[in-house]
Amino acid sequence: MDVSQQVIDRYQNIRRKRRIRVTIALVLFVVVMSLFFQALVRVGFSVGELIRYGPQFLDALDQYFPQTTVYGIPFLDVWQYWDFIDERNLFSQAGITLAMGFAGTILGFPLALLFGVLGSGRVTPFPFNFIFRGVMSTIRAIPALVWALIYVPLGGVSPFTATMAIATDTIGNLGRLYTDELEEVEDGPIEAIETTGANRLQVISFGMLSQVHTPFIAWTLYIFEINVRIAVTLGIIGGGGLGQVLSTQQRLFQFTNMMATILVILTLIISVEIFSQRVRSYIRADEEPMGILELLKGFPQRMAESLGK
């Protein structure tokens, strides 16, 4: 076969591969668009509804952002927000929300640590470690919102049952993060401890946990951030704190009061995240602390993720 024929064959082969890639891309596009259309049908999405209720939504926006005039110039009337914050003592309600997130994290920590350690294949031999992994997976499969409903017989939906739901959720989420960290520890320190004649508990404590105490602290702070956001969402179903205030004002169609509550929620969560980010960046030299603008931009997504946990 001469050189020209080889070039032709290579060119045809390239064209064939390109046609295959284009065909696969088109098929994937059609499949995704079909699934997207079916999803819109299942959720009852309608452009007509947007057009019908658009003016009503715009009227609500006027209440979300009330205006006043100063020397004839329109300004956002922040005093309406402050009046409601002061009247309902929302900073005290923020303390309840923070307390639920903090208490839930502390209550769930011991079992998260126990299951996280025992779920590691380096500590518990296969397949027994999957018993603990299975428990954590089961807990994670049930959102915190559902755990709160499960605990209703303990006394209804209240800050107490919301805290229990957060604690249970912490066991699954934090425990799995601990397990993943333990799977990455180095063998050198473990072998060094074993050569000293240490027992199994000492090997785990000084050979394994000593290597991961920094990431364990960082992950615990991260879960604490999530738990504070979860506490807000649990308040919406009656768990107390800022979420319950927000839900009450929504039912009364008091959109200005809703926005005031949202501002306090934002202040609380951003404050917790700044604290957590600073501590994590201090103990993890390779982590850049997140700025306030980044925290604000990512706030809606993190709230949505917390709602699904």
The pLDDT value recorded for residue 306 is: 53
Tokens of 26: 């088109």
The length of the chain in residues reads 309
Compare 304 and 169 and report the one with higher pLDDT. Answer: 169
The pLDDT value recorded for residue 200 is: 78
Average pLDDT, the chain: 84
Contact indicator for 170, 116 with CB cutoff of 8 Å: no
The pLDDT value recorded for residue 175 is: 92
In this structure, which long-range contacts are made by residues 121-130, counting pairs with CB atoms below 8 Å and at least 24 apart in sequence? 121/183, 122/182, 122/183, 122/185, 122/190, 122/208, 123/182, 123/204, 123/208
83-307 — its CATH code?
1.10.3720.10
The pLDDT value recorded for residue 99 is: 95
The yes-or-no verdict on residue 286 having pLDDT over 60 is no
Give the Cα separation of 290 and 147 in Å (integer). 31
End-to-end CA distance of the chain: 63
For residues 227-249, give the mean pLDDT: 91
The yes-or-no verdict on residue 229 having pLDDT over 90 is yes
In percent, the amount of the chain with pLDDT more than 90 equals: 38
Confidence category of residue 238, pLDDT binned at 50, 70, 90:
confident
The pLDDT value recorded for residue 127 is: 82
The pLDDT value recorded for residue 291 is: 57
Give the closest residue to 182 by CA, choosing from 162, 207, 158.
207
Give the Cα separation of 242 and 54 in Å (integer). 28
The pLDDT value recorded for residue 293 is: 60
Please state the pTM of the whole predicted model.
0.79
For residues 15-25, give the mean pLDDT: 89
The 8-class DSSP code of residue 154 comes to G
Would you say the C-alpha torsion 297, 302, 230, 120 has a positive or negative sign?
A: negative
Residue 215 CB neighbour total at 10 angstroms: 18
The pLDDT value recorded for residue 90 is: 92
C-alpha of 291 from chain center: 18
Tokens of 33: 């668009």
Note the pLDDT tens digit of each residue in 28-86.
Answer: 999 999 999 999 888 888 888 888 888 888 888 888 888 877 777 777 778 888 989 98
Compare 43 and 268 and report the one with higher pLDDT. Answer: 268
For residues 255-265, give the mean pLDDT: 92
The pLDDT value recorded for residue 45 is: 82
10 Å CB burial of residue 31 (0-12, 13-18, 19+) is exposed
Contact indicator for 162, 236 with CB cutoff of 8 Å: no
Domain extent listing, the chain? 3-45, 83-307
Give the Cα separation of 95 and 99 in Å (integer). 6
The pLDDT value recorded for residue 170 is: 95
Confidence category of residue 96, pLDDT binned at 50, 70, 90:
very high
The pLDDT value recorded for residue 142 is: 92
Note the pLDDT tens digit of each residue in 131-170.
Answer: 989 999 999 999 999 999 999 888 788 899 999 999 999 9
Note the pLDDT tens digit of each residue in 170-224.
Answer: 999 999 999 988 888 777 777 787 777 777 787 778 777 888 888 889 899 999 9
Give the Cα separation of 298 and 291 in Å (integer). 11
* Phi-psi group of 74: left, alpha or beta (phi > 0 → left; psi -120 to 50 → alpha; rest → beta): beta
